[in-house]
Structure 1
Amino acid sequence: MTDQFIQSEIDAVYRVIAARRDVRHFVPGAIDEALFARLVEAAHQAPSVGLMQPWRFIRIRSEAVREAIVKLVDEERLATADALGERGSEFMRLKVEGIRECGELLVVALMDRREEYVFGRRTLPEMDLASVACALQNMWLASRAEGLGMGWVSLFDPVKLAALLSIPEGGRPVAVVCLGHVAQFYPMPMLEMEGWEKRRKLEDLVFVDSWEQRAHIT
């Protein structure tokens, strides 16, 4: 094969995967336009079921719109705290977004008229969302490789956010994406640092032939 990667390139891929973080803390500074274009292009290179490419990116440049998004996130944050019951107060102490601080704000949405795409979705229509998640992961890894922080915020009412951004009927926002410069990257996932949750052991999540038989990962 002529398109093989050398070991240092392979190592870099695994390194950036391990170093990726969901960032909530940013420092001031705009993102270079050429860099922003590379990140969006990386997202657009993602695989998608039936090559439907269901992702749509809305770049938020208006401060008024940014503040409106902050308000929607705050509303859902309070509703989430209420739904969490006894962990609600613990949740409210967490920093869950960096919308005001980040240098670049995007809303990523599922396109409208997705029902026209049946390939790979007849029994699993949610594969459109899986495809968008692949695009977001591409952007996340590219951002980390470029030394930028990225945070995926999902605390919002999608109907209200769609109305705010004039997303056509059938389209659906799935992510508010914060991109920006950081003072440092978290040494581990922030929610693990805060004691909210911890990473599970891989051996508890991999099985052989059926759900009842766990695999042994060496």
Structure 2
Amino acid sequence: MPAGATSSAHAFEEADREAVYRAISTRRDVRAHFSGEPVDDAVLARLIEAAHHAPSVGYMQPWNFVVIRDAARRERVRDLFLAARLEEAERIAGDRQALYKKLRLEGICESALNLCITCDRSRAQETPLGRWHNPQMDLYSTVCAVQNFWLAARAEGIGVGWVSIFDEAALKALLGIPEHVVPVAYLCVGRVSCFAEKPDLETQGWRSRMPAAELVMSETFGGEGETGLKAAIAGR
């Protein structure tokens, strides 16, 4: 069988498989490369539909998508971010504060639009399939929707930046989000001038990508073994 071929009747063709892996490996958390070009509703619709096809425990589909285009509202969101960033900076180790303050951590006003993906925690209360023992599964399911959106956006040439530095109560008040709904991801979305070769935080020296092979364990946490798998991962 040729290298890279598969015997599975359900596998994608090689070019399609490579496109999926390419979207995953070249996805970036975009902050500084937004071009300002608008995103067509037809494209945004495809991205939201991709997010809506995410796996959800109990098929609860707990997400909603709040589109924020208004410039004045986005400026107010940015003010929330700046206030929260000052608070976070105080908790960064002293020798890292200088670098932290140089990092570009948002593109709220520069992107074409913002999108807040929320989790309605009451949506499947009457039938808590898969949530009885782990009630956090609705939040995890919503994160899967975020990932779907992000990967589809990369395939469309659309940049996405996840802004997490907010006071949640203040953000909910600004966006009129009900008490029982959780804002899971606040995303900056737009066309970009480029996608960076490496994640910005790696390029700027904040952290480096950990070798995946070092994160593999066998049978139990910390268990040794899987040498063949680790070698295969390291050899990619």
Shift of 1:50: 0.7
Q: Which amino acid aligns with 1:113?
A: S
Is it true that 1:17 corresponds to 2:28 in the alignment?
no
Alpha-carbon distance in structure 2 between the residues aligned to 1:136 and 1:122: 23
Superposition pairs of residues 103-182 of structure 1, within 5 angstroms: 103-114=112-123, 116=125, 117-182=127-192
Preserved contact between residue 69 and residue 112 of structure 2 (Cα < 8 Å) = no
Q: What 5-or-longer segments of structure 2 have no aligned partner?
A: 1-7
Shift of 1:208: 0.8
Preserved contact between residue 154 and residue 175 of structure 1 (Cα < 8 Å) = yes
SS of aligned partner of 2:90: helix
Give the alignment's TM-score, normalised by structure 1: 0.95
Shift of 1:101: 0.4
Preserved contact between residue 22 and residue 189 of structure 1 (Cα < 8 Å) = yes
Shift of 1:56: 1.0
SS of aligned partner of 2:21: helix
Shift of 1:19: 0.8
Is it true that 1:48 corresponds to 2:48 in the alignment?
no
Alpha-carbon distance in structure 1 between the residues aligned to 2:124 and 2:165: 26
Query: Once the two structures are superposed, what CA deviation does each residue of 1:66-90 show, in whole Å capped at 9, x if it has no partner?
Result: 1111011111111111111312222
- The match for 1:65 is 73
Preserved contact between residue 24 and residue 96 of structure 1 (Cα < 8 Å) = yes
Shift of 1:120: 1.2
Moved more, 203-212 or 142-151: 203-212
SS of aligned partner of 2:185: strand
Alpha-carbon distance in structure 1 between the residues aligned to 2:45 and 2:183: 21
Alpha-carbon distance in structure 2 between the residues aligned to 1:49 and 1:181: 32
SS of aligned partner of 1:172: strand
Shift of 1:164: 1.0
Say which one has the larger Rg.
2
Alpha-carbon distance in structure 1 between the residues aligned to 2:162 and 2:123: 23
- The match for 2:87 is 79
Preserved contact between residue 57 and residue 108 of structure 1 (Cα < 8 Å) = yes
Q: What 5-or-longer segments of structure 1 have no aligned partner?
A: none
Shift of 1:5: 1.7
SS of aligned partner of 1:59: strand
Shift of 1:96: 0.2
Preserved contact between residue 80 and residue 88 of structure 1 (Cα < 8 Å) = no
Alpha-carbon distance in structure 2 between the residues aligned to 1:35 and 1:144: 12
Is it true that 1:7 corresponds to 2:14 in the alignment?
yes
Which stretches of structure 1, 4 residues or more, deviate above 2 A after TM superposition?
1-4
- The match for 2:99 is 90
Total equivalences in the alignment:
218
Give the one of 157, 182, 195 matched to 2:205. Answer: 195
